Amino acid sequence: MDPSRRKFLQTSLSAPLAMAVGPQVMCALSQAIAPAGAGGPGQEKLFPNPHIIRYDTHCYTIHEKDEIIFSGAFHYPRCPRELWRDRLEKFKRAGFNTIETYIFWNYHEPREGQADLSEFEDFVKLVKEMGFWMIARPGPYVCAEWDAGGVPHWVMAKRFPLRTNDPHSLETSRHWYNLVLPVIQRHQVTTGGPIIMMQIENEYDYAPRLSEEVRLAYVKALAEMAWNAGINVPLLTCWTHQARENADPDMARVMDTCNFYPRWGIVKQVVPALKKLRAEEPNSPVAVTELQGGWFSGFGGKLSVNQDGVDAAQLDALTKTVYEQGVTYSSYYMGFGGTNFDWAAKTLTTTYDYAAPIREPGGLWPKYHAARLVGSTLALAGSVLARAEVSAGPIQSTNPAVSVTERESGKSGVLFVRENANAEQKYKLTFPDPNSPTRRLISVPREGELSLGAREMKMLPVQIAVPGGHLRYSTAEVFAAGEIAGREYIVFYDEPGRLVEIGLATRNEPHIEGETIYQYWDSDYESVVFGIRVVNQDKVWILNNHWLIVAVPAERARGAWTAEFSPAVLLTVEEAKPLLVPFVADAELLRSSGETKKSLWADFEFRPGEHEVTVLLPPEPSKCLVDGTPTDFHYTRSTRMAALHVSTPALPARPLTLNDLTTWTERFDLNSGEWSSGALGALEDSGDIPYGYVKYRAEFTTAAGDQSLFITTFADDAKKVFLHGKLLEAAANNKKDVEVKLPALAAGSHKLEISYELFGSPNFGENIGELKGLKSARVGADEKSAAAIASWHVQRYPAGSRGLRTGRGRQQLAPNFGARGWPPVSLSAGAPKGSFVPAFTWCRAEFRLESPVREWFMPWKLVFEADSDALLYLNGTFVGRYVTIGPQSEFYLPEPYLKFGEKEPNVLILVLAYADTTAPIRALRVAPYDEFATRRTRIEFEW
């Protein structure tokens, strides 16, 4: 199966869920990608500002520092701008250094000539302010499960082949680039901004039915547009093999990359594709523009979080695999997914949660902490991996189901250990010491065996410099290493019950305080080696009276954080470096930290419940406060460990069931709303394309006798067809050509009403540029003799007269819409739902939320279930589309859209499709996301 997300979309239901590997794959793993030669095309053209940014076969070098690009995708239109900072802060806390985003053409220029790039520029500025780099991906085509892949419908109305070197395609692409590239240009890293790369096109290898000549010409044209616009950061693309044709001087300046969505087919898909990329792009880093951060959800399928192969364990193994294979630039797609609102591609749910590390309402879960622990490892060993090459070996495992790879840079390295049989394994391993002139072999453990869980992968440091000396190696992963007031520490983590072997540099015969399973001193290599057992609590060993060795259960490491403080708080200690204080707990987030002259504090977010916190502190504090209240704590002087208990109260909110509504039923009434009249044609030719319904109404005259209706549409969108108010079920489908036998008709005039469901265009494939609407409708005894219905009334729905802001963008209803004159109704269980009718029923419900408690992060959702599809609005803003086939029944209610306090109620408006009562509604309530709610708690120590 091809690792592209486009190909994966076609085969995802049959994706393998086991990391099954055979001898050939094991061989491939043992021969991880080695870098090619470091030569390259004309360096002056490729890197106009090499002192600011350049790359070679290994990595990017930014401001003369080799970097691992650890990135996550964040599409700013999928998140209210008031929440951007919160989401970016969570990226920052997880160790990400780069944010990647698409810039959607149709979002910024929904009508030709009416463009506004200010939102994008504001996002770029905030990214810069918060200390990230940025990767800009302006398309023109972007995919992204976004309506038409980002191409505006007014472009489609021009009727030319998209994504080609057709003159009209080049002209419109240039038009978009003329709008967006000046913004990118002035925010490049070369001009003091955050943008370090720009992508042209997107997965062009999967654009159908284009010749090689057309493909190459189009990609070259886009690159020339970028260079001519002053883009002097590196250009890249993904799954576009033209960029690998390095004999072409222009293509040699464009770097191609891979995208991977393998679920658990990691080794089979990722390893050979990266080897091929290395062979075909020998002068650039091995890079992954989209590394699976989850997957989207479509109508009738599963929610992202309920899908197989997108959990924390898969992200962990996938990420470590690409580093094992030499990748130095990768970006999770998505890092934060967000919400589609009214820009979803065809069949896509409103939620774009994606099961990403940061969830749709901003909540955190194990996958976030898995990414964060990867970030912790990169903080320790990233400088090694940036230029690491495959070790010459020999490297081996005693268990054939456990593979081992080592990458080395200078005298340091990183070991990658993988379980390949989807079962718990015991093993020993042997690897060369990169710090040894003779490349002596290290065999671990000295006693007993190591353990590895099913599908587990580890990234282990070898000969890594840490405060106070060198970590020779460890069979446990490292959360943090630092120094506090003359005491160095290293925090390791692994599963409880496992043996961990640690090797540390020491010139003197070691003295270890704390129980070990065994210990050895190798005086020739000035190393101490000792074995310990990880237990269900935090434990500390002291080496030579200065080194604190901390081992914590893996679950505790996922909630552990390192807070930075000024050394000035310790008046008796003269240190220039900041204090990096580890807090080991089960906290969801470290929000902030700081200090006064005599204290330091850190604000954490805890879920309701009881929490044990361990802190490594220098001198013994005189006082501990939790939220300003003195709290008992235990301090052990020898280990400098403070332990305390934090209790978080229950969530201060409960669900609200909404039973009382006011309603109004709107039929295909020519006196209601804005209607246009005329012949049928593509909707693109007559106005904006809504995210909603298009109502068609006509009357036709026929003679008595057997008659059939023949309908043709421009696209395979769903529709409902009504004759004299009764549903023609045989025509209720998404076929482009429909023939339906009509019931016996009397001679005379007959009323035909059709609802065309216009909810997005495909985001990839041949139909990206499809036109929309009814093409023809004819009535007759047979197709040959059928007469066209020539005159129609058409309404885009919900219509502008409803107070709805027409066009695309966040759909907005007038704030007071439905406030007066609608009759009240109470929802009742078991009410008969009735059959589909040519009508839409508007429902208005009000609810109040108490003013939020400042300490709580508590996002809200709408829980809605019904037997009719529906559109959902909160305080006038569109927040979701409900469909009866699922899977979405919970809709995020963004905090900026809500009103809190007693002064003003929140107004929820639902539009039930094909219903003239509220009977289809089965559940309607507003509730907090219990699973993501956290309370901010300040832990403070005084001296």
* 792 has pLDDT over 70: yes
Q: What is the share, in percent, of the chain residues with pLDDT greater than 70? A: 93
pLDDT computed for residue 157 by the predictor: 97
Q: Of 382, 411, 406, which Cα lies nearest the Cα of 396?
A: 406
Known catalytic membership, residue 203: yes
pLDDT digits (tens, 9 = 90+) for 566-605: 887 765 556 567 889 999 999 999 999 999 989 999 999 9
Give the span between the Cα atoms of 877 and 881, in whole angstroms.
12
* 798 has pLDDT over 90: no
- What average pLDDT score do residues 519-527 get? 90
Phi, psi angle pair for 716, to nearest 5°: -85, 55
- DSSP conformation class of 188: B
Out of 109, 145, 201, 203, the active site residue is 203
| Coil, helix or strand at residue 148 | helix
Out of 290, 360, 408, 895, the active site residue is 290
Give the span between the Cα atoms of 618 and 621, in whole angstroms.
8
pLDDT computed for residue 433 by the predictor: 92
Give the span between the Cα atoms of 799 and 395, in whole angstroms.
68
- What average pLDDT score do residues 160-164 get? 97
Between 167-186 and 118-129, two packed helices, what is the crossing angle to 10 degrees? 40
| Cα end-to-end distance, the chain, whole Å | 61
Q: CB burial class (10 A; 0-12, 13-18, 19+) of residue 523?
A: exposed
CA angle 646, 648, 653 (to 5 degrees): 170
Q: Of 162, 315, 345, which Cα lies nearest the Cα of 760?
A: 345
Domains observed in the chain: 39-383 (3.20.20.80), 388-558 (2.102.20.10), 675-798 (2.60.120.260), 805-935 (2.60.120.260)
Contacts of 828 (CB under 8 A, 6+ apart): none
* CA 808 to each of CA 109, 341, 895: distance values in angstroms, whole numbers, following the listed order: 9, 11, 22
The 10 Å CB-count burial string (b at 16+, else e) for 852-883 is beebbbbbbbbebbbebbbbbbbbbbbbbbbb
Query: By the 8 A CB rule, do 116 and 106 touch?
Result: no
Secondary structure (H, E, C), 562-608: EEEECHHHCCCCCCCCCEEEEEECCCCEEEEEEECCCEEEEEEEECC
Give the span between the Cα atoms of 376 and 372, in whole angstroms.
6
pLDDT computed for residue 572 by the predictor: 58
Give the span between the Cα atoms of 601 and 588, in whole angstroms.
17
The sign of the torsion formed by the CA atoms of 617, 622, 627, 632 equals positive
pLDDT digits (tens, 9 = 90+) for 172-215: 999 999 999 999 999 999 999 999 999 999 999 999 999 999 99
pLDDT computed for residue 589 by the predictor: 99
Q: Which of 32-46, 400-414, 472-486, 508-522 has the lowest mean pLDDT?
A: 32-46
pLDDT digits (tens, 9 = 90+) for 773-789: 999 999 999 999 999 99
Q: How many residues does the chain have?
A: 943
pLDDT digits (tens, 9 = 90+) for 260-315: 999 999 999 999 999 999 999 999 999 999 999 999 999 999 999 999 999 999 99
The 10 Å CB-count burial string (b at 16+, else e) for 273-303 is bbbebbeebbbbbbbbbbbbbbbbbbbebeb
Known catalytic membership, residue 290: yes
Query: Which residues, in sequence order, are bridge partners of residue 66?
Result: 61
pLDDT computed for residue 3 by the predictor: 47
pLDDT digits (tens, 9 = 90+) for 97-151: 999 999 999 999 999 999 999 999 999 999 999 999 999 999 999 999 999 999 9
pLDDT computed for residue 575 by the predictor: 59
The identity of residue 358, as a single letter, is I
Give the span between the Cα atoms of 201 and 246, in whole angstroms.
18
Give the span between the Cα atoms of 769 and 169, in whole angstroms.
12
Give the span between the Cα atoms of 550 and 534, in whole angstroms.
10
Q: Which of 28-32, 43-47, 499-503, 744-748 has the lowest mean pLDDT?
A: 28-32
pLDDT band at 12; cut points 50, 70, 90: very low
> DSSP labels for 824-877?
EEE--TT-------SEEEEEEEEE--PPPPTTEE--EEEEEEESS-EEEEETTE
Sheet containing 787-788: order of strands: 737-741, 708-713, 774-780, 787-788
Q: How does the average pLDDT of the chain come out, rounded?
A: 93
Between 84-93 and 118-129, two packed helices, what is the crossing angle to 10 degrees? 40
Residue 699 in tokens: 């009357």
pLDDT digits (tens, 9 = 90+) for 242-262: 999 999 999 999 999 999 999
Give the span between the Cα atoms of 452 and 671, in whole angstroms.
71
* 495 has pLDDT over 60: yes
Token look-up 């020779």 returns 472
Give the span between the Cα atoms of 821 and 365, in whole angstroms.
45
* 70 has pLDDT over 70: yes
The identity of residue 503, as a single letter, is G
pLDDT digits (tens, 9 = 90+) for 728-775: 999 999 999 999 999 988 999 999 999 999 999 999 999 999 999 999
pLDDT computed for residue 820 by the predictor: 87
